[in-house]
Amino acid sequence: MSMSDGTINHWNIIEYDGEALSEKDEMIATELPVTVVVNGVEFATMVCSPEDLHDLVVGFLASEGLILFYEDIKSIDMDEDAGFIYVDLHKPLPEDTESHSKRFIGSCCGKSRQFYFKNDVKTAKTVLSRMMITVDQSLSLMKELQEHSEYFHLTGGVHNAALCTLDEMLTIRTDIGRHNALDKIYGHVIKNKIRLSDKLIVFSGRISSEVLLKISKIGVGILISKSAPTDLALRLANDLQITTIGFVRGNKLNVYTHPERLLEVSGTEA
């Protein structure tokens, strides 16, 4: 199968099928390094899948706290062959741009947030969503994500994130990086001014602290994943009032934090 967007390449391999060696044409996920230049300054280099790059850049800039609205961007010019994306903003870069990834120890609303990077303190949001979801809806949305994960079925080398309502998957984004897939969703949300009070995210990857913070920055209150969380991610989820549902496989799932949003599950906050 040929993918015109370059997300998949072909590679000749030698396969052992349990009985014999043979040549085979294998589909491999494409990995592209892209340097983002903001207002003439090299801001970051991302390794990503070469599709939906515009969404990726917009979501990344918002996640890093450089923009609040799509209108904060004057222009985005892409030179994919050279691996550069040039962004001009309507405002200057913060003076502390070089230190945006340094650790910051502080507090907010009486809760310790020593796990946050400096830029996360400004952009991570406590989510006040009143959205509720049933077990059956959670299982159904994960099944739908897996059925639409075309690139994963072909390569086994990508992650998928989907913006959903309780009953349907609205937008799916794919990338070799878990966080990149979420930034692509975030960029799509910002560009299209999507209301999030009735939305959630279904995700294929492990729930790390970085993933959880991106969910917070996007502003949804429910994250459903087929994989496991880390303890730091769960501590952040408790702090930021995000419901994390993991190991959603077949007819089973685990609720780790804020189970009050999942109907037919009783218990107190983890």
* 143 to 138, 242, 250: CA distances (angstroms): 9, 22, 8
List strand residue ranges (DSSP E) for the chain, in order: 8-16, 21-29, 32-38, 41-48, 73-79, 84-89, 107-108, 111-112, 133-134, 159-164, 169-175, 200-203, 222-225, 243-249, 252-257, 262-263
Instruction: Express each pLDDT in 68-119 by its tens digit.
Output: 999 999 999 999 889 999 999 999 988 766 655 444 444 344 344 445 566 6
Domain boundaries, the chain: 133-263
pLDDT for the residue 136: 94
Q: Does residue 222 carry a pLDDT above 80?
A: yes
Indicate the annotated binding residues.
247-252
Q: Report the distance separating Cα 59 and Cα 118, nearest Å.
A: 18
Q: Is 109 a catalytic residue?
A: yes
Q: Using one digit for the tens of pLDDT, what is the confidence trace for 112-162? A: 444 556 667 667 788 888 999 999 999 999 999 988 877 666 666 789 999
pLDDT tens-digit series, residues 160-218:
999 999 999 999 999 988 899 999 999 999 999 999 999 999 999 999 999 999 999 99
Q: Can you name the CATH fold of 133-263?
A: Cytidine Deaminase; domain 2 (3.40.140)
Q: Is 237 helix (H, G, I), strand (E, B) or coil?
A: helix
Q: Which residues contact 143 (CB under 8 A, 6 or more apart)?
A: none
CA distance 215 to 245: 13
pLDDT at 189: 98
**Per-residue pLDDT tens for 33-57?**
999 999 999 999 999 988 999 999 9
Alpha helices in the chain (DSSP H): 53-63, 118-123, 135-147, 150-155, 178-192, 209-218, 231-240
Looking at residue 230, the DSSP 8-state letter turns out to be P
Give me 216's structure tokens: 């917070």
CA atoms within 13 A on the CB side of 228: 3
Using DSSP's 3-state secondary structure scheme, residue 249 falls into strand
Is residue 270 predicted with pLDDT exceeding 90? no
DSSP type of residue 261: G
| Separation CA 190–CA 68 (nearest Å) | 8
* Tokens representing residue 17 in the block: 């099928």
